[in-house]
Chains A and B, each alone.
Chain A
């Protein structure tokens, strides 16, 4: 799971991140409010067109997001086939597929820094309670960066253990992984402190620099 952003200059790429997220949220609500196959199918076609034609994303940018859901979609359809019927199953599967692709389009066309800025904006009213939006943005930016990193470390440790003949994941294998990534997080925290992230986020002017230093795009 590498950085999912696909650079581009289309209208979709240049649309404000807040607008894209709002559209995504509305789409999610609308899809769950309806159970009609025609409506969900129309939304599916529209989202697919927005991704492939309007944003000119490569097919694999969307496919890579759909692939992990595949088994889940088949299971969901099978479940509905047995319990409720093929029509409900088709709606449920198409709804999920549409949402995953829509999310993939937003993710692929929006820089992480822009997404983080939206969250900071959304959480800024919490300032009254002593919450610092800049630090929330920093945590989310770091989370996005850490996901591929942790996945990569996990794969490496699994391979190393497999090479020594271990065929199953056991708790004992998870410990070196956790220690490794905890140590890494400690280093990242210290590095950010050394660059002044600790106090600058509290005030204001250089805030963006702190987030940019860990951005993933």
Chain B
């Protein structure tokens, strides 16, 4: 498993091929979203919804050993692309690493400008939710 920083660099490199073209970037984002497996209907329930997103976003987390596994879905294509990036960065990482991470790839790609304030706030809400899960797992692991 690559480190969070390494995965972030990979993402930045991929997006840099699009030369900052907004339309191409959004299409690429949606393509990434399409590759993210859909959550089963049963998981698309209110308790898995991320609060603070304009679109609907569902996030689930489970522990595999000392790693955190994330799955996610959204009802809009662009947001699904965004959450797929978070899954890529954080899923399979140790809770401590997730908690310590300060993501920079959004800024480095310029995605925060492209997606606007509301979606940026939504992105922040998703990140926060993932960190909550990480904290919960950390506490759980410490308790065992």
Same complex origin of A and B: no
